[in-house]
Amino acid sequence: MLNLFKIIKKYVHIQSLLHKKEYALLYAKYINLLSINQQAYVICQLKLYDLFLIDPKWSHSVFFQLGLIARGHAHDNDEMVRRLITCTDFSKNKQLILSQLLAYSPQIATTLCPQTYRYRALYLSLLANLKDFVRLKEELNKLPSCVLKNTPHYCLLQNFVEKENSKKLENINQFLYFYKLGEITTIKTEDPPNTNNIVSHSIVNDTNTYLNAPLITILVTTFNSQKSIKNTLNSLFNQSYPNIEIIVIDDHSQDNTMSILQAYTKQYKNIKIISLKENVGTYVAKNIGLKYASGEFITCQDSDDWAHPQKLALQVAPLLQHKELIVTFSKWVRLDPIGNPYARTIYPLMRLNPSSALFRKKEVCEKTALWDWVRIGADSEFNARLKLIFGHKGYYTVNKPLTFGAHRENSLMTAQSTGYVNGVSLPREAYWKAWNIWHISQLQRGHAPLLSSSPKREFFQYDQHPIMDVISYAIIN
C-alpha cells in the first residue's frame, strides 16, 4: 500500500510539472517515467530535436522526421509530407507536429494543416505567413463579424488584408480592448501604426494611486537607434506608474543616438546615460547598466519597442501584492513597418515578450547572476533560469500584450548573423541547445543552474564575449 501511495504521489507530481511547463526538470528527473508521447512533447518544448535522430527508439516515429526537418535535412517538401503522414503515430501527434513545424517549414505545415474549425486560426496564420493574402481575405470574409471582433487573433490577422492605415489602427485597438487595455493612436495619422508611430493618451500618470511606490529601474540598450529611440523613451516616460528610473546604455553607436539621449537628460531628471567605449552586445550592456541601478525592481526595454502606458503598473502589481513572487513577465505583439503583425513561429501572434522580466533586484542578484555574457539569446536562458531557481510560485505571467515590438530586417532578431533566416537561426539554436543541456545536467546533479556573475563559461555557447571588467567599459554622462 505504501509503494502504491508513492507511485500515485510521483504520478501526480509529474502531471503537475507538465501543467507548470517545467520541462527541464521533467527531463532531468523523470524522462524515463513519462509515456513515449510525453517524452516527445518534453523534447519538443526543449527543442532538443537531435535526440530524435540519435536515439534508435524514434527511428520509425514521426518525431524522427520532425528532427530531420528541424535540423535542415529536408530538401523535398513533398517527400517529407509523404513520410510524415505515413508514420503510424502521425495522427495522434498531429497538433504537436504542426506546432513544431511552424518555425522550420511553414510550407509543410500548411499542406498538413486541416481546414477545420479547430485549426482555422492556425491555417489562416499560415496563409498570412506565406503571403497568400487573396486566400486569407476569402477565408476571413467567411467568418461572422461577431467572430472577427471577439477573437483577438483575428483582429490582428485582418491587418494583412487591410489597406487603410486607419482601419489597421482600429483592428489593433479592438485587439487591445479585448485585454482591457487603453487604446492607441498614430502620431502621423496618414502613416501606418508601427512602433515608431503609435502613442497612447488614454492613461495618465496618477501619483496619488502610487504613494510610496517602490522605484523601478528600466534598462534600455541602444546601438545606432536614432530612428526608434525617441518613441521608445516617450512610451516609458508616459507610464502610469510614476516612480521610475531609466538607464540607457549606449553600445558604441556611430549615428546620432547619443545626442538624442543627451537631449532627454536636459528634459528629465530620472534618466542616466552610459556610453560604452566599444560595442559589447545588448546583454553585456545590460549587466553594465545594472551596476548603476537604484531600483528595488529591474526591467528592460529594447530600443525599438513601445511600452503600453499600463505595462509597468500591471507587471509590478502582482509583486507588490504577493511577496513570494520574484519576477513577472508579459506578452507582446511585433509589428512590421506597415502595421502588420509578425511572429517567427507564426501562431499565435501574441507571445511571451522575452525581455519583459520585471524582477526583485536584491533577491535575484543574491541567488544568481543576471544575463549571460553572450550577444544573442541570453534573455531566454535568463528567464528559464529564474523559473528553475525560484520555482513555479516565484513567477507570474501577465497575459496581456503590454509591448509592441518592432519587426524589421536588420534587427538583432532578424539580422543574418544574430537572428532568424527563413525561420531558423543556427547560432540561436546552438545556444538554446547548450543552455538547456546545462540546465538539465545541473538539475540531474541536484544543483540549481546558478550562472557566475563574471564572464566565466559554465557551458559552451556560440558567441563568447571576452573576459573583462564591466565597469571599465562605462562612462557615466
Q: What is the DSSP string of 392-438?
A: GGGEEEEEEEEEEEE--TTSTTTSTTTS-BTTB-HHHHHHHHHHHHH
288 and 214 belong to one structural domain: yes
* Residues pairing with 472 in the sheet: none
Query: Is residue 69 helix, strand or coil?
Result: helix
297 and 202 belong to one structural domain: yes
Single residue among 69, 85, 117 that ends a domain in this structure: 117
Total residues found in the chain within this entry: 477
Query: In this structure, is residue 191 part of a structural domain?
Result: no
Which domain, by its residues, includes 133?
A: 119-178
415 and 436 belong to one structural domain: yes
104 and 125 belong to one structural domain: no
- What per-residue confidence (pLDDT) applies to 413? 47
The single-letter DSSP state of residue 374 is B
Where helices occur in 55-144 by DSSP H, the ranges are: 62-70, 77-86, 94-101, 106-112, 120-129, 133-141
Single residue among 117, 134, 160 that ends a domain in this structure: 117
303 and 156 belong to one structural domain: no
240 and 357 belong to one structural domain: yes
112 and 129 belong to one structural domain: no
Query: In this structure, is residue 190 part of a structural domain?
Result: no
Query: In this structure, is residue 193 part of a structural domain?
Result: no
39 and 87 belong to one structural domain: yes
- What per-residue confidence (pLDDT) applies to 418? 42
Crossing angle (nearest 10°) for helices 36-46 and 23-30? 130
Q: Which helix (H) or strand (E) holds 18?
A: helix 2-20
Give one DSSP letter per residue of 209-221, joined into a string.
GGTTPPPEEEEEE
Instruction: Please give the chain's pLDDT, 477 residues, in tens.
Output: 657 777 788 889 899 999 999 999 999 999 999 999 999 999 999 999 999 999 999 999 999 999 999 999 988 999 999 999 999 999 999 999 999 999 999 999 999 999 999 999 999 999 999 999 999 999 999 999 999 888 999 999 999 999 999 999 999 999 999 999 999 999 999 999 999 999 998 776 666 677 789 999 999 999 999 999 999 999 999 999 999 999 999 999 999 999 999 999 999 999 999 999 999 999 999 999 999 999 999 999 999 999 999 999 999 999 999 999 999 999 999 999 999 999 999 999 999 999 999 999 999 999 999 999 999 999 999 999 999 999 999 999 999 999 999 998 755 444 444 434 444 668 888 899 999 999 999 999 999 999 877 767 788 655 554 433 433 344 444
- What per-residue confidence (pLDDT) applies to 1? 60
The torsion of the CA quartet 424, 426, 432, 437, rounded to 10 degrees, works out to 130
CA distances 369 to 64, 267, 365, 404, 419, Å, are 37, 34, 6, 28, 24
- What per-residue confidence (pLDDT) applies to 208? 63
Query: In this structure, is residue 13 part of a structural domain?
Result: yes
167 and 237 belong to one structural domain: no
d(CA 347, CA 102): 8
Instruction: State how many domains the chain has.
Output: 3
* Residues pairing with 246 in the sheet: 218, 271
Q: What is the CATH number of the domain that holds 456?
A: 3.90.550.10
* Residues pairing with 217 in the sheet: 245, 298
Please report the sign of the dihedral spanned by the C-alpha atoms of residue 140, residue 142, residue 143, residue 144: positive
Q: Which helix (H) or strand (E) holds 303?
A: none
d(CA 463, CA 428): 10
d(CA 336, CA 471): 36
Query: In this structure, is residue 202 part of a structural domain?
Result: yes
46-53 long-range contacts, CB within 8 A, separation 24+ = 46/436, 46/440, 47/429, 47/432, 47/433, 47/436, 48/433, 48/436, 48/437, 50/433
413 and 285 belong to one structural domain: yes
389 and 417 belong to one structural domain: yes
Query: Is residue 289 helix, strand or coil?
Result: helix
Side-chain half-sphere exposure of 219, counting CA atoms within 13 A: 29
Contact of 334 with 341, CB cutoff 8 Å: yes
Query: In this structure, is residue 183 part of a structural domain?
Result: no
Query: In this structure, is residue 185 part of a structural domain?
Result: no
The single-letter DSSP state of residue 463 is S
* Residues pairing with 245 in the sheet: 217
Nearest to 454 by CA among 371, 390, 382: 371
Query: In this structure, is residue 28 part of a structural domain?
Result: yes
- What per-residue confidence (pLDDT) applies to 253? 98
103 and 128 belong to one structural domain: no
Single residue among 96, 117, 138 that ends a domain in this structure: 117
